[in-house]
Amino acid sequence: MARPSWIAQAARIAWKDLHIEGRSREVVYTMGFMAALVVLVFSFAFISGREVTVGPDVIAGILWVAVLFSGTVALSRTFDRERESEAIRSLLLSPVPRSAIYAGKLAATAAIMLLVELLLTPLLAALFSAAIGPHALWLGLLLFLGTIGFCAVGVIFSAALLRARSRDALLGALLFPIVIPVLLAASRATATLLDPAIPDLDPAFFWTRFLAALDVVFVVVGLWSFEPVVIGE
């Protein structure tokens, strides 16, 4: 038996998840709907009504909070399907390295989240007349980096909480303090890019590099810790 490469196995697992999601589109719909609702909720909560133009700080904040909150939906669903018929056991029993399972799950969950974000961002831009045009690619990069950072930690927690009754209550509560640097970096960079008045993009450069470094740290810790967390006592 020729053992496939680590990357091939991770890709295969990611593909499996995306294939299943492609057929039902369940996570995309529920996460997308929730994200849109979070945007609306924040709009009604923070905008006075008399003054409906909003600064780039608020727009960036709303975007990233919507991503974080609706992202927990994607995270909890990513392991739900594994738990269903104990498919996770078959996966863990196979010779696939557990780090490859982590990488595959990370890639698939991030891809699904990104799809929703790419639909959410123009929506937000339309709602608040935000100028996403000038730096669209950079914004895309920020979405990508922020999502990876969030999922890198989230996949581990979701896997660990697989069988816990209090999973839904705990996932967000445990995840958010740790991913605050992700939120901070991503929203500050986004706000800089959305601000038509700021000629100086240095903060955006800084925060983008910071996010990339953060992603590296989180993914490395994740790759290492997935196996001991998921393989029981």
Partner 1 sequence: MSERALRLMNVGKTFGRHRALVDVSLAFLPGQVAAVLGPNGAGKSTLLGLLSTLSQPSQGRITIGDEQLSRHSSLRATIGYVGHEPGVYGDLSAWHNLRLFASLYGIANAERRIDEMLARVGLQGVRREAAARTFSRGMLQRLALARALLHEPEILLFDEPGSALDPAGATWLAGELQRERAAGRLVVLVTHDLAAAAAVATHLVVLRRGRVARDETRASFSADDVRAIYEEATRGKA
Partner 2 sequence: MLLSTMSSTRKPNTAFIVGLLLTMHGFFVVPVMVARAPLERTMGLVQKIFYFHVPCAWLLMLSTFVCAAGSLAYLFRGSERGDRLALCSAELGVLFGLCVMVTGPLWARAAWGAFWTWDVRLTSSLLLWLMLIGYGLARRYGGAGGRRLAAAMALFAAADVPLVYLSVNIWRGLHPTTKVVSSLAPGMRTPFFFSLAIFSALWGGLLALRMRVEHSQARLVELALAVDDLEGKSS
Interface residue with partner 2, options 4, 16, 140, 206 (CB under 8 A): 206
Q: Which stretch binds partner 2 (CB under 8 A): 66-74, 99-107, 132-140, 169-177?
A: 169-177
Q: Are 159 and 79 in contact (CB under 8 A)?
A: yes
Q: Are 48 and 128 in contact (CB under 8 A)?
A: no
Taking the least distance from each CB to partner 2, the nearer of 55 and 181 is 181
The partner in contact with residue 164, picked from partner 2, partner 1, none with C-beta cut-offs of 5 to 8 angstroms by kind, is partner 2
Interface residue with partner 2, options 41, 174, 198, 212 (CB under 8 A): 174
Taking the least distance from each CB to partner 2, the nearer of 144 and 157 is 157
Closest distance of CB 102 from partner 2, Å: 11
Interface residue with partner 2, options 101, 157, 192, 195 (CB under 8 A): 157
Name the region of 2 (left: φ>0; alpha: ψ -120 to 50; beta: rest).
Answer: beta
Taking the least distance from each CB to partner 2, the nearer of 4 and 227 is 227
CA 105 – CA 87 distance, rounded (Å):
14
Which amino acid makes up residue 16?
K
Residues 6+ apart with CB under 8 A from 45: none
| 166 makes contact with partner 2 (CB under 8 A) | yes
The partner in contact with residue 92, picked from partner 2, partner 1, none with C-beta cut-offs of 5 to 8 angstroms by kind, is partner 1
The partner in contact with residue 185, picked from partner 2, partner 1, none with C-beta cut-offs of 5 to 8 angstroms by kind, is partner 2
| 24 makes contact with partner 1 (CB under 8 A) | yes
| 41 makes contact with partner 1 (CB under 8 A) | no
Interface with partner 1 (CB under 8 A): 1-4, 8-9, 12-13, 16, 19-20, 23-24, 81, 84-87, 89-96, 227-228, 231-233
